[in-house]
Each structure stands twice: as C-alpha cells, then as structure tokens.
Amino acid sequence: MNKATILVIFGATGDLMAKKITPALYSLFKEKQLPQKFKVIGFARRDFAGDKFYELLKQNLVKYLNIKETEIDQDFYDLFTYHQGQLDDQDAYRSLNEKLIKIDKDFNIESNKFFYFSVAPEFYEVISTNLSKQKLKIKNISLIIEKPFGKSEKTALELDNVLKKNFSEEQIFRIDHYLGKQMINKIPINFNNDQLTAKYKLKGNIKLIKNIEITTLEELGVEARGDFYDPLGALRDVGQNHLLEIISLIFIAINGDENNPIERDKILQKLRKYNNDEVKIYAFRAQYKGYKNIENIKKDSVTETYFKIIALLDLNDKESITTMLQAGKRIGVNRSEIRINLINGDTLVYDFKQLEELNIISEGKIIKNIKFQKDSHLQYVGEYAELLKQAINYQKENFVSINEVISAWKFIDPIENAWQSNEKTLKFYAPDNPIIIKNADEALNLLF
C-alpha cells in the first residue's frame, strides 16, 4: 500500500468519474487506505483549468456521496490535478508524460501508474496506442477498464487484441463491481453450529439444493442512458457479466474452492442452456411500453429491458443444477437477491441490493435473519473503493480475466443470436406492473 502510485483517469469529467470513482477515492482517502505518495490526474477534453476541476469534484461528492460541502476534507483536493487534451492528440500524451515524470521527481521514487479507461470501448485503441508511444516503463503500467467487454465473443476478442498490442493480460484490470460486493464476493454457505442446524450446511453438499434463482429488478428505467443501453439490452448489460459471475461465485462457495479467475472460469464453462438448445423456449425477453419514446432509442428497437433465462450447470456427467436468471428495468420494485431453494422446501434468500442480509425461510416464515457488515449503503461506493484498493495493491483475484469474458459470451451468444433473428418474439409489459414469474419451478412449466 505504501508504493508510490499515480492514477490517470481518461474521461475524468464524465458520469463514471462523478458517480463511482470520485466517491470511492474519497472513501479510501478518509479511511487512510491510499498510498502515502498518491496522485490522481484527470484527463479530459473539456476546459476545467484552475479551480473548475476542484469545483466539479466537490459537486460530485456532495451529490453522490451524500456529504455536505462543509464536511469535505479539503486535503482530498491536493491529490488531484487536471490535464486537458483530446484522446487522439499525441501532444496531449507527451505533456501528460512530462507531468508523470515531474510527479515521480516530487515523489523521489518511480511510481506505479494506473490508467483508468473511463471512456467508451471505441477509444481504447487510440489511448493504448498513444500511451505506448510515450516509452513509459511498461512494467510499472496497468490499465483499468469497465464493461461492456465487447458485445459478443467475437467483439470481445477484437477488443482484447486491441489492448494486447501493447499490454499483457497481467497489466489489465477488468472491473465488474459485483466482485467488489462484500457478500457476493464470499457468499456465506456454512454457518456456526449455534446459528443453524446441519440441514443448511451446503458446503460440499450440493445434493441439498433443488434449484437456484438470481434476480435483479429495478424501479428505474433507461432514462438518459439510451445511447448506451439500446445497443446492449438487459442481457448484455447485467446478465453476461454480473449474474453469470454470481453463478460462478455460488458454486465456488459450495465446492469450497478458492475465488479467483481460474476457478470462476471453470464454473462458467459448465453452464449451458436448458436442454442445451431450447433457446426459444427457455430464454424470454420483453420490453417495457414507452421505451421507444426515450431519447436516443431507435423507434423500431427490439432491445429487451427484461429477460429470464433457465440454465443448467453441469456438476458431473449425470447431475446438474437448474438456475434461473432474471433482470429488468421499470419493474416497480428494487430487488436484488439470490434464492437457493432446498429439496426440503426451505429457501436461503440472500439480499445483496442494500441490506446485505440472509433470510432463511421455512414454511413461508423467516426462521433466521443474518445481517452482514456493509462498508456503505450508497450504491457503488463500497464496491468501487474495494476494487480500486485491490488494483493499487496488484491483487487481481476479483478482476475479470479474458477467459471468463469469453466463456460468458459462449453461453450468451446463442441466446442473443436467436433473439436477433427473431426466433423468439419480443413481448411487452406495462411499466411498474409487469407479470413476473415467481420462481424457477413455475418458469420451467411455461413455454414463453
């Protein structure tokens, strides 16, 4: 943690910086979790010279960290400097390099340098190419990038090849903020003897499980994110990454394996569609009415805002576990949970939206509630703070490998291809009042 570090953020005046990165850095700053020698350079095209950038940081903290302006520790601003430039301007990178050299001289030591690509993927090549031209010492450089990691297996590989022209897999940190969630990261499967009886001890005992449901539903719609969301849709936005990562983490916890990219990828490779090819039956999609009226949404858009998938995870040659995945917007509720349904009729319900708690339900009643400590009740802050801290410390276990990305797309691509060819008709639902299938058993009995 004491290694001198410089964090360069491309797109430093954008939403990601405002909502997630700035609040997370402030959280780490207040908890003294940043290196003693630490600087942040905000890189963007807009004119934020002088105090304009610091005013922007203040606004971000007030709005997204829910903190009063008078409560902000002014020393936090000393970590930041602003660098104006176009992403395709080589002169901007040369002057950036000069700034990096000067900071290292002030540190009196050569720092580790992290370049955060808080921009759209189409800018990755121009940034990575221009960085490589500056003859920086590659061994001290890492890239931090955000989803989407492509829109298919093919585009994910193309994107990876762009980055791999100049940087290695070890230098790339792919963020999925679900891997920074405290409870999701280490899903509690076993409990102390004084809390629960042996019938709920699932570690190494997969036969106790009937099926698994993973759900994330939102009251919010697409709103002002139409240009980002419409080319993706719900399945690519949260299914291919967040929900598939949760599947891998559940089974890692049950198997007692170590949580790392290699083990997560092993799980993803065992995932298949129900009956392997019945995509049209067990992959349901729908769009809320009024979606096409949103700015930057195509009037003939067939993008799904809700999906439900029934999948199987093969345990061995003869056994598999049914898993239902569903996610959607404008559903009328905010609900993010894992439901592990047991063969004895009981259910373990993991709430990972805000409360981060486990309810054990038997005969329709909660017989046990276990709350888990949460770093912050503000969305994203705790997750991003944890992942930024791990990146700075070169801890890569909770960052997504390219192998995980490809395995996830191998599962998702056939569903997307069936939808795009209209093999499965797009349905529509009224905002805030959809018909949602309650559980995996009910879903299996329906032909959508």
Q: What is the pLDDT of residue 447?
A: 36
Band (pLDDT 50/70/90 cuts) for residue 446 is very low
* Phi, psi (degrees; rounded to nearest 5) at 11: 85, 40
* Phi, psi (degrees; rounded to nearest 5) at 241: -110, -75
- At residue 375, does pLDDT exceed 70? no
Overall average pLDDT of the 368-386 stretch = 76
Instruction: Give the position of tokens 């994107």.
Output: 159
Question: Who wins on pLDDT, 183 or 67?
Answer: 67
Ranges of beta strands (E only) in 329-380 are 335-342, 347-351, 357-362, 365-371
Using one digit for the tens of pLDDT, what is the confidence trace for 318-351?
Answer: 778 889 999 999 998 888 999 999 998 999 999 8
Band (pLDDT 50/70/90 cuts) for residue 193 is very low
Helices assigned H by DSSP within 165-294: 182-185, 226-229, 234, 244-255, 261-269, 279-282
Band (pLDDT 50/70/90 cuts) for residue 208 is confident
CB atoms within 10 A of CB 277: 12
Q: What is the mean pLDDT of the chain?
A: 88
- Domains of the chain, with CATH numbers? 5-146 (3.40.50.720), 180-377+393-444 (3.30.360.10)
Q: What is the pLDDT of residue 202?
A: 81
pTM of the model: 0.90
Query: In angstroms, how far is CA 389 from the centroid of its own chain?
Result: 16
What's the longest Cα–Cα distance across the chain? 68
Band (pLDDT 50/70/90 cuts) for residue 305 is very high
Band (pLDDT 50/70/90 cuts) for residue 255 is confident
CA-to-CA distance for 100 and 134, rounded, in angstroms?
11
Which amino acid is it at 157? L
> Cβ distance 130 to 86 under 8 Å?
no
The DSSP call for residue 45 is: S
